[in-house]
Amino acid sequence: MVSTASCQHKPKIAISACLLGAEVRFNGGHKESRLCSQTLSEHFEFVPLCPEVAIGLGTPRQAIRLVGDPAQPQAVGSVDNQLNVTRPLHDYGVEMAAAHTDICGYIFMQKSPSCGLERVKVYQDGGRPAELSGRGIYAQAFCAAHPDLPVEEDGRLNDPVLRENFLTRVYAYSDWQALLKQGITRRSLTEYHARYKYQLMANSPVQYKALGNLLGNLGKQDPRDIAPHYFSELMKALKKCATRRTHTNVLQHLSGYLKRSISPEDKQEMQQLISQYLKGIVPLVVPLTLLKHHFRQHPDLYISRQVYLQPHPENLSLRNAI
């Protein structure tokens, strides 16, 4: 069974350079993530970026921090608050967003005043942090230019559910970029949606139906006009993490394609594993492996094209812990 993920070139992912071991942090050190530098680097082409070094701040340097309004903070020096790098960081974010249109995701350094996606402290008068947290100046500018791009912080990738979700979105984004290069047609758009049927059903059953209705009402519209909106909604749907209950629903749907092909004993075994998965006894990979075994014995063309069965390379083992 051939998956989208297994037959692609390495998708590009931008990443905070310190996470790959580059000694670019304010103290001259790094924050190497072995998950990124050792495991993920085998499957992705990383594009390391460090906005603070890029705008001319030295290494080592005084740390910067966010101050003022959490909705529109300023990035200033922690020692010399006359050093204000808000505009350079913002402008560099806009510049890099324009330069890197071929990336399929971005892994940011968490809690950084330049790169943090959320929970970045914004200090008030007297040195106390505001109740509301902010977002890194550079990250905000970059993400505003690429609202559909899968983004995540390094720390959150230690959560197996969030890691699997992020990388599923990265491959979906890469798949979409390949579709854009070929050219959007009515057929290619509907086929893309068909391949993501069960993945969408696992992530967001409601949005799956809404996207189906969107394409069903195409009529005489040019599919190229509706494609950007479709993809934005798809990425929003995929950002919702699938649950054991929604995965179970998908597993039951898929097993229904085998009801005339496998023996009563095999059906019972399949149902037992799905039930054990729902109860948290076994991980998702267990019932999925059995399903894929049966589909190898009893091929179904429609099912063989479903991204859900292998949305990312099998040897990443992303479904072994969820």
Are 61 and 107 in contact, with CB atoms under 8 Å apart?
A: no
3 state SS for 191-241? HHHHHCHHHHHHHCHHHHHHHHHHHHCCCCCCHHHHHHHHHHHHHHHHHCC
Is the pLDDT reported for residue 4 higher than 80?
no
Measured CA to CA in angstroms, residue 241 lies from 4, 5, 236, 316 at distances of 20, 19, 11, 18
Give the number of other Cβ atoms within 10 Å of residue 23's Cβ: 13
Using 50, 70 and 90 to split pLDDT, how confident is the model at 5? low
Are 184 and 223 in contact, with CB atoms under 8 Å apart?
A: yes
Q: What is the Cα–Cα distance from 122 to 145, expressed in whole angstroms?
A: 23
Is the pLDDT reported for residue 3 higher than 60?
no
Q: Tell me whether strands 106-108 and 12-16 are parallel, antiparallel or unpaired.
A: parallel
DSSP letter (8 states) at residue 74: E
| Helix, strand, or coil (residue 317) | coil
| Helix, strand, or coil (residue 108) | strand
Is the pLDDT reported for residue 9 higher than 90?
no
pTM of the model: 0.95
User: Per-domain residue ranges for the chain?
Assistant: 5-157, 160-239, 245-316
Using 50, 70 and 90 to split pLDDT, how confident is the model at 8? low
